Amino acid sequence: MKTLTYSDSPFFSNWSQTYFTNLTLDQHIANNNWLMNTLTMLKDDGILYVPVLDKNFNRLGEEVETHKLEPISYYDYRVDVDNIVKEEK
């Protein structure tokens, strides 16, 4: 079995090496290939979220900031609904 070198990767990038410091060269090549293939499926304004990194990337593979969603407010069962000021009709 041939040992892969970094030049065997069609995606000449160090994306994986930038975000993962404890992987083998083969794992970095696989990550970089995965990123390239996944990014090609995005629309021009698409964003790829990588959960293990909790980071977002644009179609060019650049890290981008997006605003995080705020948690949904839930009904507070402690509110006394009988004492809420109600609109008169």
- How many structural domains comprise the chain? 1
Q: What angle do CA 56, 51, 49 make, to 5 degrees?
A: 30
Give the pLDDT confidence score for residue 24 in this predicted structure. 92
List per-residue pLDDT tens for the chain, 89 residues long. 555 444 554 444 688 999 999 999 999 989 988 998 898 898 888 899 998 998 998 888 888 888 665 555 565 566 666 666 666 66
Task: Report the distance separating Cα 61 and Cα 56, nearest Å.
Answer: 9
- Domain containing 89 equals 1-89
- Tokens representing 41? 């499926």
For residue 34, the 8-state DSSP code is H
Give the pLDDT confidence score for residue 11 in this predicted structure. 46
Model pTM?
0.60
